Amino acid sequence: MAEDSPTLQYLKERLADGILDTHAFRGDQTIVVRRERLCETFRTFRDDPKLAFNFLTDITAVDYLGKREPRFEVVYHLYSMPRGERLRVKVPVPEADPVVDSLTPLWKGANWLEREVWDMFGIRFLGHPDLRRILLYEEFQGHPLRKDYPVNLWQPLVPEREVAGTFVDERSRNKLTRLKQKLAPGG
Amino acid sequence: MNPERVDLPIETMDLQMGPSHPATHGTIKFNLKLEGEKVLDCDVEVGYLHRGFAKSCEQATWTQVIPYTDRLNYASPVINNVGYALAVEKLIGVETTPRCQFIRVIMSELARIFDHLTCCGMTASELGAITAGFYMLEARELIMRIVETVTGARLTVTYVRIGGVKHDLPFGFAEQVERAFRIVRKLLSDCDRLLSRNRIFLDRMAGIGAISRETAIAYGLTGPILRSTGVNYDVRKAHPYLVYDQLDFEIPLGTKGDDYDRFVVRIQELEQSMRIVEQALKKIPPGPVTIEDPSIVLPEKERVYGSIEGLMNHFKIIIEGIKVPPGEVYFAVEGGNGELGFYLVSDGGGRPYRVRVRPPCFIAMSAFSEMIKGRMLADIIPTFGMINMIGGECDR
């Protein structure tokens, strides 16, 4: 294993007990942190002048079903504008309790990115102001980027939602009624 | 209370704008709360073009993902190809040949010109400046012809391969580019005269959709939107990939972060991209366009049909896919709309375990409601146009 970069060494001293693992594969610095007090950890990344990771590039997750325990990993990519350095932060999340802290208090951009992770992986973000599905629709069953979600599964059409105060065309109402009859059990 | 001034009762109205609104190019819905024409709140609904890009990639071999990447930002497909190929190459630990690196830069910059012309032309025509819009589409067509000559396709080009590109540049490419750029420059100067001091255009763009530098960073915005606020961040300069460090170009910056600055940054980037292409065409060295590694690159067709080793090699790569060592990488390139990042996870097999794209315009759309709150309904059109939301990339 190669020598740790100065940033990783500094992080190890700074967050000694919060860090589970560090490595640098192909020059990508990666640290794995505990999910307890996650928001505080990220506040350190952002506000410590020696780190200054002030730019949240991306949030995503990986499902390691049957490969690793715990099953999920939430992956954050941070960038330091003043220092021109990237850092990958990974947080293991168990299947039984898929919850991590939301980073929306630190970066506004976390809002949609976390909604997408919830939508695709079913990982909840504690303290998120508006955790709804984003790319899929409310009636969708399951979380498609989980490895146990079949790739060829079809989900039924959902009836048109009625929104209070909106005008509904008679023709589409008839269509809606027909669709409801079709979807009703025994129909 | 002053008896002479009677406030009229104000009623807020809910309006759903979209998902297919004639003045927005892109399938997206804005759930607006209006007070008269003033936007009180805007909830953006995306996902109409979601087709499961990441899930599809997990079913395909590493090479078969390249056509899927074309369909992300379909205004600049080559940049997506290049970004993905560079990420896979980083994961394998190889570097392409010098000539291939130059070709990738040339094609990426042509795609960027195409992307910016689409964005600026469409926005101009949506604001009524339809002549300028047509001029830019004409310029775009010239670039599209070059792309067609090189790749054989106009939109879904699939030009880049892991370890190289599909084939070399065609004969007479430099002359074709030179001719096209001469006309593009003339068209752009016409557009400049039509738009830069146009009262209607300025009134609808200047000061609209403005966002501060701090807010732009908090939202993770990149590309022309971030640079219009004055933050000097371009992946081509901050982390030079390919041969961008050998080429001389500038990063145009704005000051106010409004729609007009975004427009000007894009227009100036067009000139810089043309400069890059011209320099690269002068510097491009001769040589092969793919690396020589039978475990990554498909053999020549003569070898496939003429020898058993070539045939086996071909089938191994097609059926099993390229073997990529286990690990994970993040690689970012500067796309038309900002930092286009690929986060790849490999489990050592022939297929990707996870492909994640960092979509620049998805992140820009998350800041949209902040840009538009408190402004007029009509301001949605230029602001949305200058974000340049591309459904294929936003919704994946």
**Any idea what the CATH number is for the domain that residue B99 is in?**
1.10.645.10
CB proximity A24 to B under 8 Å: no
- Alpha helices, DSSP H, located in chain B: 53-59, 65-70, 77-92, 98-126, 130-151, 173-195, 199-205, 213-219, 223-227, 235-238, 259-283, 301-306, 308-315, 360-366, 368-372, 380-387, 391-395
Is the bond preceding B98 in cis, omega lying within 30 degrees of 0?
no
Contacts of A55 in chain B (CB under 8 A): 217, 220
Q: How confident is the model at residue B110 (pLDDT cuts 50, 70, 90)?
A: very high
Give residue-wise pLDDT tens across range B222-233.
989 999 998 888
A33-62 pLDDT tens trace: 888 888 888 888 888 888 888 899 999 999
Q: What is the mean pLDDT of residues A152-174?
A: 72
Q: How confident is the model at residue B86 (pLDDT cuts 50, 70, 90)?
A: very high
**Tens-digit pLDDT profile for residues A64-107:** 888 888 889 999 999 988 888 888 999 999 888 889 988 888 89
- The DSSP output letter for B208 is T
What are the residue ranges spanned by the domains of chain A? 6-143
pLDDT at B183 over 90: yes
**Rounded Cα distance, A41 and A61, in Å:** 18
Which residues in B lie closer than 8 A to residue A103 (C-beta atoms)?
Answer: none
pLDDT over 50 (residue A1): no
- Whether A164 shows a pLDDT value over 70: the answer reads no
Chain B residues within an 8 Å CB radius of A86: 330
Note whether B89 and B97 are within 8 A (CB): no
Distance between CA atoms of residues B94 and B88, nearest Å: 9
C-beta of residue B251 within 8 angstroms of C-beta of residue B227: yes
pLDDT of the residue at B83: 92
Q: Burial level of A163, CB count in 10 A (0-12/13-18/19+)?
A: exposed
Lowest-pLDDT range of A88-102, B21-35, B117-131, B159-173: B21-35
Q: Which fold has domain A6-143?
A: Beta Polymerase; domain 2 (3.30.460)
Q: What is the pLDDT of residue A35?
A: 85
| Beta carbons of B26 and B389 less than 8 angstroms apart | yes
pLDDT at A179 over 80: no
**Of B108, B97, B100, B188, nearest in space to B147 by CA:** B108
Domain contains B12 = no
Is B389 within the bounds of a domain?
Answer: yes
| Chain-chain contact of B215 with A58 (C-beta, under 8 angstroms) | no
Q: Quick one: pLDDT at residue A140? A: 87
| Residue A163: predicted pLDDT | 67
Residue A66 in contact with partner chain B when CB distance is under 8 A: no
CB contact under 8 A, A113 and B363: yes
Q: Which percentage of chain A shows pLDDT scores above 70? A: 89
Asked whether B14 and B35 are in contact (CB, 8 A), the reply is no
Helices vs. strands in chain A: H and E counts, helices first: 4, 7
Q: Given a cut of 50, is residue A3 above it in pLDDT?
A: yes
The per-residue pLDDT for B156 is 87
Q: Any chain A CB within 8 A of the CB of B393?
A: no
Q: How far apart are CA A67 and CA B353, in angstroms?
A: 11
The minimum CA-CA distance between A130 and chain B, rounded to whole Å, is: 11
Nearest chain B residue to A145 by CA distance is B55
What DSSP letter does each residue of A70-121 carry, written as one string? SSEEEEEEEEETTTTEEEEEEEEE-SSS-EEE--TTT-TTHHHHHHHHHHHH
- Comparing CB atoms, the residue among B16, B220, B332 nearest residue A109 is B220
Q: What angle do CA B128, B367, B212 make, to 5 degrees?
A: 90
| pLDDT of res. B16 | 82
Contact B55 A151 (CB under 8 A): yes
Residue B257, domain member (yes or no)? yes
Lowest model confidence (mean pLDDT) among A168-172, B213-217, B271-275? A168-172
**Does some domain include residue B295?**
yes
What are φ and ψ of residue B43, in 5° steps? -105, 120
How do residues B249-293 score in pLDDT, each as one tens digit? 889 998 888 889 999 999 999 999 999 999 999 989 988 888 888
Residue B103: the pLDDT is: 92
Identify whether B13 is part of a domain: no
pLDDT at residue B106 in the model: 92
CA of A45 vs chain B CAs: smallest distance (Å): 14
* CA R_g for chain A: 21
Q: What's the pTM value of the predicted model, to 2 decimals?
A: 0.87
Most confident of A172-176, B20-24, B137-141: B137-141
How many distinct structural domains can be found in chain B?
Answer: 1
The region, left, alpha or beta by phi > 0 then psi within -120 to 50, assigned to residue B85 is alpha
Q: Which of B330, B351, B371 to mutate to test the interface with A (most CBs of A within 10 A)?
A: B330
Facing residue for A135 by CB, picked from B46, B231, B341: B46
Determine the residue among B354, B355, B387 to mutate to test chain A binding: the one whose Cβ has the most chain A Cβ atoms within 10 Å: B354
Q: Is residue B33 part of a domain?
A: no
Asked if the structure places residue B161 within a domain, the reply is yes
pLDDT of residue B29: 87
Distance from CA of B55 to the nearest CA of A (A): 6
B305 Cα to chain A: minimum distance (Å): 36
pLDDT tier at B1, thresholds 50, 70, 90? low
pLDDT exceeds cutoff 70 at B4? no
With respect to residue B390, please indicate whether it lies within any of the assigned structural domains: yes
The pair of structure tokens assigned to A148 is 């146990």
Taking CA atoms, A111 is separated from A125, A126, B367, in Å, by 10, 12, 10
Question: Quick check: A135 pLDDT over 70?
Answer: yes
Written as one letter, the residue type at B93 is G
pLDDT of A155 strictly over 80? yes
